[in-house]
Amino acid sequence: MTKNLVCIAISMLSTAALAGSLTVTVIDKEGKPVPDAVVVIMPANKTVLPKKPMASQATVAQEKMQFIPSVTLVPVGAKISFINNDPWDHHVRSSPAGMGQFNTTNAGFELRLEGKADGKPAKPSEVTLDKAGVLGATLLGCFIHGSMRGYVYASDSPWAAKTGLDGTAQFDDLPDGAAQIKLWQADQLIDAPNQSASVGTTAAKNTFQLSVVPRKRRV
């Protein structure tokens, strides 16, 4: 009986230590919510991991001259499958996003993706993001279709999320204590400075405001 009570007490304690919630809101220069921004939390306590880890595999489809999703968030070391669902070919290439444009000196990946034949499943091509320098944002483009733009963001912190349509990213089981918050958004050329948060019994809220209004995606 006593032993059981101790067990319950301990489990309540450990739940409390993991109950820190943090909401990060991203708004643009005009105060409107920004979806598809990547929020990375770096807690001072690195021993606690999320209950639901990020998937180490993701799929980026090419459909109607777009990368879907336009921003893919994965942990470093993840595998990405590229699937061409268009009937025409794509020639996907990558470049560190901070460079602003593609150039020939960077050693990104290149994938020739054949158009999907009628009635047949598209063949996926896989890339593993295990190279040094893959951390952060990678710009995806296409040699054939210059308008195609997409991003893959590789996070080395297990605590990372994309903002939803309401511009928020919600973290519910962060370890208590200090944390740094890093923001990345495709149209924000100069990264906003990191913010500090204090995760604890009261729900923490942080807001980032971009210095730009993100371009609307071509539909």
Binding site for Cu ion (CB under 5 A): 90, 142, 144-145
CA-closest candidate to residue 81, choices 136, 19, 127: 127
- Kindly state the smallest distance separating residue 124's Cβ from Cu ion, in Å: 16
Nearer to Cu ion by Cβ, of 83 and 144: the residue is 144
Indicate the residue among 65 and 204 with the shorter CB distance to Cu ion: 65
* Short-list 122, 101, 99, 100, CA closest to 111: 122
Closest approach, Cβ 144 to Cu ion, in A, equals: 4
- State both tokens at 197: 């948060």
Nearer to Cu ion, 111 or 144 (CB): 144
Cβ(174)–Cβ(153) below 8 Å: no
Looking at the Cβ atoms of 205 and 218, the one nearer to Cu ion is 218
Least Å distance, CB 35 to Cu ion, is 24
- Shortest distance in whole angstroms from residue 90 CB to Cu ion: 3
* In the complex, minimum distance from the CB of residue 145 to Cu ion, in angstroms, rounded to a whole number: 4
Rounded to the nearest 10°, the torsion over CA 204, 209, 214, 219 is: 30
Least separation, in Å, of the C-beta of 55 and Cu ion?
25
Closer of 78 and 148 to Cu ion (Cβ) = 148
Nearer to Cu ion, 123 or 205 (CB): 123
